[in-house]
Structure 1
Amino acid sequence: MVEELDRAIQATLQSAGAPGVIAGVWIPGQLSYVRAFGVADKSDCDPMRSDLNMRIGSETKTFTVTALLQLVDRGEVGLDDPISRYIPGVPDGDHITLRQLANMRSGLFSYTQDPEWQKQAFLDDPYRQWKPEELLQVAFSHENKFAPGTQFDYSNTNTVLLGLVVEKLTHHSLQRAFKEMITKPSHLPHTFLPKAAELPRPYAHGYTDLTATGAETDATHWNPSWGWAAGAMISNLDDMHAWAENVATGRLLKPETQAERLDALPTGAPGDFYGLGIDINHGWIGHAGSLPGYQSLTIYLPSLKASVVILTNTDIQSGGENPSTLFGRAITQLISPDNVYGAASDQDDVEPAA
């Protein structure tokens, strides 16, 4: 199996045109596989290593919603509370619940879909520091897309709002709330929400084509503050390995709360369902992440107790698909042929970022 995984990942690396990838596959009693292929820095061909820090994009959502669900367990908030109870000024906020924000059924426009915002964030000034309130202002300048609870639509606006709820109820910054509620008790020493563009060494350089001409550029130090509660976190392979089972099995939550989290509804993509800040794709529970220069995937299959973590230093699509999907599919075709992640060419994250 090790040699088969080596070949599959190297073939995907080449076909996707990705600079490098870190891959981990763990099946208790059967397999413990950790490899790094390709380069971490194209300027000097520094090789990719399994201990490098990486930006994990929308995997941040699993942390934000876990913090919210911990507050549910404490009785400090209810999933069916309207967002207007905590954050004023949300369009139709009296009818949009925290549950609908967490399961992407609020109808709120995602600020990352706004063309003018995309121009500002990625073309004009990718080093800009964004405030959550500025992101919401962009989102709320658009009409809601549908009545709450009636459709699925992946919106980063939802998770930014939930991050503000966590801050309001904990009376802490989201950085501190994550540390005290999640990363410290879960022993994730390399996982955190940055305040700006900081990325601790050692790290892999990240490459994107989100430029005016579509030419590739180094986005390593672009400021991910625009992703905030929806997509700005940093981690590494070891931490994400631990988090894969933790979040999928609900170690930080009451069993009944975890059951609500996993009560997922169809997204419209084949075999794909979205719960409360978590995705279930052909049986694999977890989340993918994407932002300029980086993509990630952390998933867990209960039937095998298997974990897969992918960290790659590009978000440039290949054949219309994200690198994280391609790697996830190549690996799961080998280890779980009855549960192939990203089967039928569904994509893990169709927005330009986070």
Structure 2
Amino acid sequence: MPNPAVDALTAVLPYIDSWLQSRAGNTRTPGVQAAVYFDGALQFSKAYGFADVENGVALTSDHLFRIASHSKTFTATAILQLFEAGELRLDDPAGNFVPALVEAGSPVAEVTVRELLEHSAGVIRDGLDGDYWQHVRAFPDQAELIAMIIEGGDKALPGEGFNYTNVGYSLLGLIVAAASGRSYNDYVTAEIVDRLGLKNTGPELDALRADEYARGYTGFHTTLDRRPVDHVDTRAMAAATGFYGTAEDLVHYFAAHFPGDERLVKDSSKRMQQREQWLSDTATPGAAHYGLGMIIERIGDHRVVGHSGGYPGHITRSLFDPAAGLAISVLTNAVDGPAAELSNGVLRLIDAALVQTPALSLAAPATARTDIPSARFTGRFANMWGVLDVVQLGERLVSLHPGSPNPLDGLDELEIVDENTLLIRKGSGFGSVGERMIYEFDAGGAVVSVRGSGGMSLWPLGAMGEVHPLT
């Protein structure tokens, strides 16, 4: 049977494509890769910009990104698998698996697996010398990692509060290895990556696929030009930050964390993993919570789960709504890439497409037309003041500003009056609610200009960005 919600989501995907392309260009992000999963399948996968700017290599959906702290979700899933198999308990102390901590008398030997998973163990974040994050030195190997833990000690009492720690998750990688009898990389590859058939995902830099990686770049906060950043092996910190992947693979992976899908872990384990254990910042309204290897946030009416990632030259973000069966992933290859902004924007556009058109208010004109196709009016238009999109979102014809980080900021609802006219029926009072948008068409029905909000003309934005008659 037809599903109106699925139909509405499918119909909005072309505009999501247009919006992502616009925002990638406006933010001068070298490359953006995005994917959307719903109704039990991958529904959208696109790439924008370049995998290698200097050599003009266009980014594709198959290029590999370093997805950094997404690795923590894989590590937590591995721990829960071993918990289900009886190989460990969540309240086991770390020293049971890493005897060197006990031998050194480190207080970290007493923290539990659960406390490490939820970042409440009080373990130092990145060590006393974290310059490996800037490629000043190599990421630590196992011996160096253990020395970092012993040297750094505990900066807070276990259970005292939320203290995010890459070192702690790297320690969890050692625990996975000890409990499973396999290396961390071998375990997660066999029990997570291969189980799901993910062809473009792995726990560490794969030198045999070097040509398939999107090149990373610095941000604009230090120089006027972006500079390339090399990929490096994260060694003993793979469990915290080593993974690579694609947006397509990530939405498939997170779909395996929907309720009812027990390919990786049971629903009981997923409920623990996705439960709000700690508030990340008690002083900030709307701050994210953390579960077991998962970030939990509220975006609009959604309670979303997932993770972000920051690797030298890459910023990434994936989120999923387990109740809705929806997953979104956005990967960028710049250290200031707007992955969070873009993934939030995609979710907001999806929500906007599901909003039903309310009954016409008493103030609406009796002459409102439903026999004229809205496609006649849709498009991207611009003038000196910016860019305006007229688009069909679900049952609503709306105008919005693609240059905004939140695509719904300044949204106006429109109504067809006649073959040449739209009424701005609803929106901000700072705009032009109650006024009309007058279209001029050529003989073939193409839009020549629009007399829009504030009575100012807009013109179709050409493929090369030209706006006529502006130059």
TM-score w.r.t. the length of structure 2 is 0.64
* 1:112-168 Cα shifts (integer Å, max 9, x gaps): 6x4x331x552534xx36303313423432342211112111110111111001111
Q: Compute the displacement of 1:337 (Å).
A: 5.9
Taking structure 1 as reference, are residues 29 and 131 closer, same or farther at Cα in structure 2, changes over 3 Å only?
Answer: closer
**Could you say if the C-alpha distance between residues 94 and 174 of structure 1 is closer, same or farther in structure 2, counting changes exceeding 3 Å?**
closer
Amino acid at match of 2:332: T
Q: 1:29 to 1:180 in 2, by over 3 A?
A: closer
The one of 284, 287, 292 aligned to 2:307: 287
Contact 1:224 1:232 in 2 (8 A): yes
Find the counterpart in structure 2 of residue 305 from structure 1. 325
CA distance in 1, matches of 2:40, 2:76: 31
Matches of 2:221 and 2:27 in 1, distance apart? 19
The Cα offsets for residues 219-265 of structure 1, whole Å up to 9 and x where unpaired, read as 23333336311011111233212101113546311222222212222
SS of equivalent residue, structure 2 residue 119: coil
Counterpart position of 1:109: 124
Q: Which residue of 2 aligns with 1:246?
A: 256
Please show how residues 202-351 of structure 1 align to structure 2 within 5 Å: 202-209=212-219, 216-225=226-235, 227-249=237-259, 251=262, 252-265=264-277, 266-268=279-281, 270-282=286-298, 283-316=303-336, 323-336=338-351
1:92-171 correspondence to structure 2 within 5 Å: 92-111=107-126, 114=128, 116-118=129-131, 120-125=132-137, 128=138, 130-171=140-181
Q: Which runs of 5+ in 1 are unaligned?
A: 317-321, 344-354
Alignment partners' CA distance in 2, 1:213 and 1:30: 41
The whole-number CA distance in structure 2 between the counterparts of 1:110 and 1:197 is 28
> What amino acid maps onto 1:229 in structure 2?
A
Summarize the Cα distance change of 1:57–1:31 in structure 2 as closer, same or farther, 3 Å threshold.
closer
Q: How many residues align?
A: 331
CA contact (8 A) 1:132 1:228 kept: no
- 1:59 aligns to what SS in structure 2? helix
Contact kept, 8 Å, 1:62 with 1:247, in 2: the verdict is: no
TM-score normalised per structure 1: 0.84
Question: CA distance change for structure 1 residues 30 and 109 in 2, over 3 Å: closer, same or farther?
Answer: closer
Q: Residue 35 of structure 1: CA displacement?
A: 1.4
Q: 1:29 to 1:182 in 2, by over 3 A?
A: closer
Q: Which moved more, 1:280-289 or 1:21-30?
A: 21-30
In structure 1, distance between residues paired with 2:21 and 2:87? 48
Shift, 1:177, TM fit: 0.5
Contact persistence 1:26–1:306 (CA under 8 A):
yes
Q: Distance in 2 between matches of 1:30 and 1:84?
A: 42
Superposition deviation, residue 9 in structure 1: 1.4
Contact 2:204 2:233 in 1 (8 A): no
2:214 is paired with a residue whose SS is coil
Q: Tell me the amino acid that sits aligned with residue 260 of structure 1.
A: M
SS in structure 2 opposite 1:146? coil
Question: Which letter maps to 1:96?
Answer: V
Computing the radius of gyration from Cα coordinates, the structure with the larger value is 2
Give the SS at the match of 2:195.
coil
What is the identity, as a one-letter code, of the residue corresponding to 2:268?
E
Instruction: Measure the CA separation in 2 of the matches of 1:336 and 1:136.
Output: 46
RMSD of Structure 2 on Structure 1 (CA)? 2.9
Equivalent positions of 1:39-50 (< 5 A) are: 39-50=50-61
- 1:43 positional shift: 0.3
Tell me: CA distance 1:214–1:248, structure 2 relative to 1, closer, same or farther (3 Å). farther
Residue 82 (structure 2) aligns with = 71
User: Which shows bigger deviation, 2-11 or 72-81?
Assistant: 2-11
The equivalent of 2:459 in structure 1 is: none
How many angstroms does 1:196 deviate by? 7.0
Give distance in 1, aligned partners of 2:156 and 2:88: 25
Q: Measure, in 2, the Cα distance between the counterparts of 1:256 and 1:150.
A: 26
Q: CA deviation at 1:31?
A: 8.5
Q: Gaps spanning 5+ residues in structure 2: where?
A: 1-11, 354-404, 407-471
Deviates more, 1:260-269 or 1:65-74: 260-269
> CA 1:30–1:246 in 2, change beyond 3 Å: closer, same or farther?
closer
Decide whether the 8 Å contact of 1:248 with 1:286 is kept in 2.
no
Counterparts in 2 of 1:248 and 1:131: CA distance versus 1, 3 Å: farther
In structure 1, the partner of 2:64 is 53
Alignment partners' CA distance in 2, 1:288 and 1:229: 15
| 78-87 or 263-272, larger mean C-alpha shift | 263-272
Deviations 1:23-48 (A, max 9, x none): 11223289922211111111022211
* Conservation of the 8 A alpha-carbon contact between 2:205 and 2:243: no
Higher RCO, 1 vs 2 (CA within 8 Å, ≥6 residues apart): 1
Q: Read off the aligned partner of 2:297 and give its amino acid letter.
A: N
